[in-house]
Amino acid sequence: VYKNPKSTKEERKKWQNILDKHLRKKMNLKPIMRMNGNFARKLMSEETVDAVCELIHCEERQIALKELMDLYLKMKPVWRSSCPAKECPELLCQYSYHSQRFAELLS
């Protein structure tokens, strides 16, 4: 969300407040719950990505964020599974490709 990586502490706090208000309004996510596991589960969903994308003006970054989240949601069952080879073999086969693409998007 930050355009300037060397933004001041006040700017970062302002952006965090904007994001918190937006997520509270759109997703009923409360910043007080930030350390809660339920908050993380709700935050890492496709609906939240759409809400966050509304705050990002650059379409290229919106597309990248949506792709990152899509890859995250595809990889998550593999590391959450106790036996991914049995429970989600097709996702396990694609995991390496997804993780490489995830790293490319982050760099």
Per-residue pLDDT of 22-80, as tens digits, reads 778 877 777 666 656 666 677 777 778 888 888 888 889 889 989 998 999 899 889 88
The answer to whether the Cα torsion of 61, 54, 71, 32 is positive or negative is positive
CA-wise closest residue to 29 among 41, 13, 46: 41
CA-wise closest residue to 66 among 88, 76, 81, 51: 51
Gap between the Cα atoms of 68 and 55, Å rounded: 17
Q: What is the value of pTM for the model shown?
A: 0.68
Gap between the Cα atoms of 67 and 101, Å rounded: 9
pLDDT value, residue 23: 78
Q: How many residues does the chain have?
A: 107
When pLDDT is cut at 50, 70 and 90, the band that residue 101 belongs to is very high
